[in-house]
Structure 1
Amino acid sequence: MLIWILFFLPVSTMQAFTLAAMEAKCDSINYWFEETERLWAAREFESCKQAAKNYFQCANQDTKPEKAALIARRASRSALNLGRFEEALRNALLGLQWAEKSKDPNLLAFQYADIAVIYHDFEEFENGTRYGKEGLFKAQASDADTRHQAYILNSIAINFDDWGKPDSALHYHYKVLKLNPLPDSLDIQFTFNNIGNTLLKTHRLKEAEPFLWTSIRLAKKQDNYYNQSSSFTNLGQVYQQLGKHEDASRFFDSALVYAKLANSIEKLRDTYLDRSNFHKALGQYELALENQGMYQQLRDSIYQIDRLRMFSELEAQYQGKIKDQQIMEQEQEIIIQKANFNKIVLISSILLLTIIFLTIIHFLNQNRFKKQQLLLQKEKEIEIKEAYIHAALESQESERKRFAQDLHDGFGQLISALRLNISRLQHSSGQLESRMEVVEKSEGILAEMHKEIRNIAFNLMPATLIQFGLKEGIREFAQRLNQSGKISIEVSVFGMEERFGELQEISLYRVVQEWVNNTIKYASPQKISIQLTRHEDELSLIIEDDGKGFDPSILENASGNGWRNIQSRLQRINARWEVDSTIGRRGTTFIVDIPIKEFETEAGHRFLSTTGRP
């Protein structure tokens, strides 16, 4: 019976109903998009947050992820300006999901930076740093533009700064100024203020001041009240420490004016605290107490989230229900005018069954596809492991052949020469001068044999690396190459006072040795720079040369074992690496970052005395 009803149902009526429903849904979501943008521009944060909520109630799988991510960001920042941390974070994470759907590396980078800043504003610096670094890795891997990379670098730096790690903060701040191409100064105005703030905390006042004035000048061009407030606050602290209290007071007053214009509770809170500390330092206790009271009031308003949220959400739900009811009445009126209600129910039922059936088929196909992909991935992993094992075996066999050749060519000839000298000594006529000459030649041969033994031992496992560690081992390696007079190798080491584990030191030494030897062999450089820098949570190795550039993609399909050995050793210590080079351009940079937590530094750990490579 159902089939016959469908058969005689007018096609025009079915199409009219479907089209009307789609138009109503589309109109609703477009309306809430425009309404959210209008309320955000008007800085009506509470209403903006509710409009964004209504937008997502209308969203579906056809919603453009770029627009959805933008609306989630508006809702997140509205909640942040209202001092509602959990709500801000929840909307920021929702925006991250939509950004991932968009496949836009710049949008994804922006969203990671937003989450890191939210964690920073509520003093959860470890989570802020973690999200920032994860976003930076994805941005660099997906070729996000330098402007969005600058946003992520800034979010990492400010978390390190307020975490009490100024050196790491400056490291990431200065990375912004080294981006190529460098973003427009207006897009990175925050960087100048943040560098000035970090320099201020390390009492480098004269260095901080020009960065802060630059930040103020750039913020004024865009009427960025938030950044102007931050920069004037930092400038006030600089002049306070310089003893210029009148100027400092004027700057703190300016900071308060711009914080109010920015309409940010978080910025007002921090500004009142800085003003309170300033007046307290000058002995102006009445003003200090007044500002401290304002700070405490705003701070309490931020952290009394649960009670305030209950009333605001009830009000928002009430208003939302009223608007939703109006939309439903409009949609119902359109449906009644376009089609018969019974036919609509019938069509909806058939469509629902069809969707369920197609969903089941899609789910089964998706599971089958995932299993096939998993199988292919495992097969690829096995192939890679076999390739690494093959490379290791070939490397060991090559090492044995080289060792045998060294012994045969070097020691074989020296031993033969020594045997001839001894034979001459036995058959000499007995003259003392003749015997002394033979003895002196024999001593020279023994000295050459000793030198040959040292060279062979160095190639197998440098004694300096075993006894004194990675930095001394690399310096000795560079010194030996410099003795040839054909190349200049410079080694710079920072923060490497402690030894690392055997696996890490040997792996890094072999990586340096393999990379430098291949560079000399194929790139014909004049100079090579090796830099080792230890940070709080990672060790950075950078090797730069001025030789011929090449296409880094050829490394993935290289037939030799050199690059395979480098990859294998780096993977064993969980390192990340990057090769920057271009055909036709002089110079190549090889960057390796290794997490410090992977390093073994136990007091009882010692190197094994071996005669072969690890």
Structure 2
Amino acid sequence: MRALPALLCLFCYSLLSAQPQDSLELLLPGTSGVERAKLYYQLISFYQRSNLEKVSRYAKEAESYAKENPEPLIKAYANICLGSYYSSTGKIDSAILLFEKGYAEAEVAKDTVVLIKIVGSLGRTLISAGRAKDALEYLYTSLRWLERYPDDATNFRIRTNITWANLELKRYKEAISFGRKSLTLMENEQWEWIAAYTYNNLAICYGVTGNLDSARYFVDKSLIVTEKSGDNSLKANAYFILGKIYSESGKLELALEQYQFARALREKIGNPFFIVSDLYVIADLYYQLGDYKKGIEAGTEALTLAEKHDLLLKFDGTYLTLAKNFEGLKDFKNASKYYYLWAITKDSLYQQSQAEAIAEMSTKYETEKKEQQLVLQQSQLDQQQSQLTKTYVVVVALVIIIALIIVILYLVSNRHKKQQQLADKKRQLEVREAYINATIQSQESERKRVAQDLHDGMGQLISALSMYMSKLSPNTPQEERVTVVEEAETILKDMHREVRAVAFNLMPQTLIQHGLVAALQEMAYRLNESGKIKVEITSFQIPERMTEVKEISLYRILQEWVTNIIKYAKATKVAINLVDNEDEISVTVEDNGEGFNVAELDKGSGNGWKNIQSRLNLLKGNIEIDSKIGRNGTTLVLGIPKEHELVVSETIK
């Protein structure tokens, strides 16, 4: 059976929040503030499926209301409303710009719920703009936020659009898998209007992969919902898919009729992304019917719209259908032109997937090569007659390990001297004194811990290594020498892991090389490996690198606080969120552990809280803690001013 062409990659329009009642329009005149802005958004979300005139009206009212009441949250909702209107009328670039403005206003308002709505709308619109890969990043961001701020309608909208994005990227297996899992969450009549879009997406994917029975099954389910809702977009999608099924069954006239039904509905909606798809599929059907002139007319109209709106994902299908129709007319000059354009565009669209495939093959090749090298080395070792060379290797490796230990001890002792040199800086005199005192106490504890780790871990391993090495002598049998050397190599690997663990506790290399967010993610990974606690790190617009002292201080503050949560709070979940605001960097730490009396922190005798305060003073930051005895959950909020650049720095080692 012929596979359905990739032209089917087009369906899932904006999915909306829970369907509003008629009473919302009656409530509008008597509502004010943010609640009025929310009502505009809900009304536009509802009428976006059926009445663009009302969408236009409420979008303009929302814009005027925001001008009269310029609060960040009201302005954010106004931008969503206008962006949704422009998206529905095919003005994709304007819609994207408005959603981005709304995102900025929502950040100022610090309202994550609105951010989720905007990011979801932006992701959906980017798919219409032919940027499905970029859209997936936004959509998955919304999905992660929804774990903390649950909302079924928004969750199902996002999931349907993720299925659509995978479909647009021609990742049909991923789209089917994700779509079917999402449908299990919508097994409720309340959500069938959202499920219908997923039905259409699955029908397309099954059609493309040649499973027409499954495709027809999901189309029929979609049409049942369409009759109830009157959703023009959903109805157009269903007619289009039904047309493809007739086409694959050889019923070309019936297929053309379904396509014309779909196109008429698309014209009412006005989104060029879908109109272009309808046109070049109709052009392809005219080619199959032998009506090449009509095919060229439809294909040319599709190309004009695609170029006007820069719909990159639609160029390859449009070029191909034009080439085929010109070839049918025996106009080989134009046919060659469009075949050439189709080949170039297709190569461009699949460049990323090809690069990933090449990278995967390269990785497999390198792995196989390394395995072959290991086999060869082992074979060479088995054939060696003398074990003296292996003894030298062990001795040299031992010297390297000892040298590393000496370097680590030197770096630990040298930190104190460099901290004292910071005291000569006048600008940080008062803050520096408190910081150095707390740091000295912390370093003394750290030295004791490092010394204990080296004594307990490395001391035992060195003793074991010495014991094995003492078994080697000129009279030692060859088989026993091989066994001794193998055991010695095992111990050296354990010593290497021990040294790396000590070095990580001194200063994570990830913090040195990749910055704060990457270091926190590594810390979370190590803690999560225990299985006793789940630590989640999220960041929004945090720069990859900040000043050295700011990265170290924030890392140590968060490390100390998470350590205390693990020791005392009996928590199972910790969420760390970093946001780069206009004037400051905001850090929030939330856990589900036992609460405590915040006033007791200043009365404690330990150094942990003092270290946090001294590092925070160095950054001129502020701190707020929300916790109570008898209540689960504690929230820590840090604010670090951005304009404050420190001249004092803690050297990373």
TM-score normalised by structure 1 residue count: 0.45
Greater RCO, CA 8 A, separation 6+? 2
For the pair shown, the structure with the greater C-alpha radius of gyration is 1
TM-score normalised by structure 2 residue count: 0.43
